[in-house]
Amino acid sequence: MYAERLRPKNPSMMVGNEESRIGFLNWLKNWKKGSKPALLVGPPGTGKTTLVYAAAETLGFVVLEFNASDVRTKERLSSALLPSTHSVSVLGERLLVFLDEVDGLYARQDYGGLEFIQTFIEESNLPVVLAANVEEDERIRKLLPKCEVFAFKRVPPRLIYLYLQNLVKKEGLKISPETLQRLVEKAGGDMRAALNSLQAVLASPSTEVLEVTRDKMMSLRDALNTLFNSNDREEARRALEACDADIIEKIRAIFSSLVNSKLNSETLLKALEALSAVDELAARIKRTQEWRQLRYFHSMLAYSIFDSTPRGVVRFSQDMYPWSVQLRIWNDARVLRSIGRKLGNLLHASSTEALVIHLPYLARLLSLLDKSEVQRILRGFTYDESELRVLNKEISRFSK
């Protein structure tokens, strides 16, 4: 999980391919309508995906990522081209369209994807970024002249070594310089592989340093599809564990897969309830950095999804709307549940009753009072920052 957890948030924290990194940042900074799309091309694990997100974050863009190998991408891209959804910003944030691993798309199935991407590129009002692992592909070659190309090379072992050494120091990890050296050599310029094998070696120091461990990892898509179709709980758990995506990302993807599925509303509700409990655990792991709880997290997630959904109905699906928007809704829902529990305890009511019946009354009453008085009253309860934020939002619905 190192590879995901330690994804640099700022392009300047990355190593290697400096020229392309700076070039890409400038491309995004200077982008205007009519600019060519960017194409990042180079071997896996060199930081292409990381750079897109880090650059976006630094320059204030929200990334709309489309999954190039999803058959629905074409449909979704078309709707993104419609004037109504084709706004340049959401909640004041600028948007960037990102199609990662476009070569994967062609290898798997061609459904007119390339032509479509070309049209999309030409008509888009938003900056478009493509990333690909291989340049040799004939179809990628066709895209090259239409794009501003930023080439990525394998990260020099010397830089990977320095990067890991720094990490080892910062995190207080125990590993000998020889093992670190061997691990870097075996990674073959693939930073993700280096991070994964560092983690493997730390988890069980007796293991041999393996050649490029990323081959054993599952993509988020494969892991979730295995989860939704698995025959038993253990198979479901193994699939989730074999995917090194961030835990929050796993929950998001399960969330949108469930919501986009044909589950009846009763089953969907049950599954979402189960997911929200796991979501609370994930939030706690992130907050406390207790990564040892990941095993528990994976079992809990796998079991609760396995138990609450029928086999073969749900399929991997990612939403085209920026997660930041969904996240706000989802976070508020989580916070509301904890408010419900606290308020329910206080009033000897169930948390649902507290939320549905008592909270609106409380909010209505508080909205009649003076602002500073309201804050004084709220501080008398045991609500935390985010709960206070949501409560104030509820109250303000009644104000004016």
Ligand X SMILES: Nc1ncnc2c1ncn2[C@@H]1O[C@H](COP(=O)(O)OP(=O)(O)O)[C@@H](O)[C@H]1O
Distance CA 83, CA 97 (A): 15
Which residues does 14 contact at the CB level (< 8 Å), separation at least 6? 8, 21, 47, 50, 51, 54
CA–CA gap between residue 24 and residue 149 (Å, rounded): 9
Of 7-15, 262-270, 331-339, 344-352, which part binds ligand X (CB under 6 A)? 7-15
Q: What is the DSSP letter of 100?
A: E
CB of 28 to Mg ion, least distance (A): 17
**Paired tokens of 385:** 């920052």
- Residue (of 223, 254, 216) closest to 240 by Cα position: 223
Determine the 3-state secondary structure of 128 from DSSP. Answer: strand
Among 184, 246, 189, 173, smallest CA distance to 210 is for 184
| Nearest residue to ligand X, scored by beta-carbon proximity | 47
Looking only at residues 188 through 227 of this chain, which bind ligand X when binding is defined by CB under 6 A?
191-192, 195
To Mg ion, the closest distance from the beta carbon of 217 in angstroms equals: 12
Span 129-188, contacts to ligand X by CB under 6 A: 155, 163
Q: How far is the CB of 47 from ligand X (least distance, A)?
A: 3
Least Å from the CB of residue 16 to ligand X: 5
The answer to whether residue 17 forms part of the interface with Mg ion (CB under 5 A) is no
Residue 11 interacts with ligand X (CB under 6 A): yes or no = no
46 binds Mg ion (CB under 5 A): no
Q: Give the Cβ contact number of residue 324 at 10 Å.
A: 12
* Residue 302 C-beta: closest distance to ligand X, Å: 23
Residue nearest Mg ion, CB atom distance = 49
Q: Strands 93-100 and 89-90: what pairing?
A: antiparallel
301/319 Cα distance (integer angstroms): 20
Window contacting Mg ion (CB under 5 A); options: 41-49, 188-196, 252-260, 324-332: 41-49
Please list every residue from 23 through 82 that binds ligand X, using CB under 6 A.
44-50
Question: Measured between alpha carbons, how far is 187 from 193 in angstroms, rounded to an integer?
Answer: 5
Of the two residues 143 and 335, which places its CB atom closer to Mg ion in the complex?
A: 143
Q: How far is the CB of 271 from ligand X (least distance, A)?
A: 29
Contacts to Mg ion by CB under 5 A: 48-49
Contacts to ligand X by CB under 6 A: 3-4, 6-8, 14-16, 44-50, 155, 163, 191-192, 195
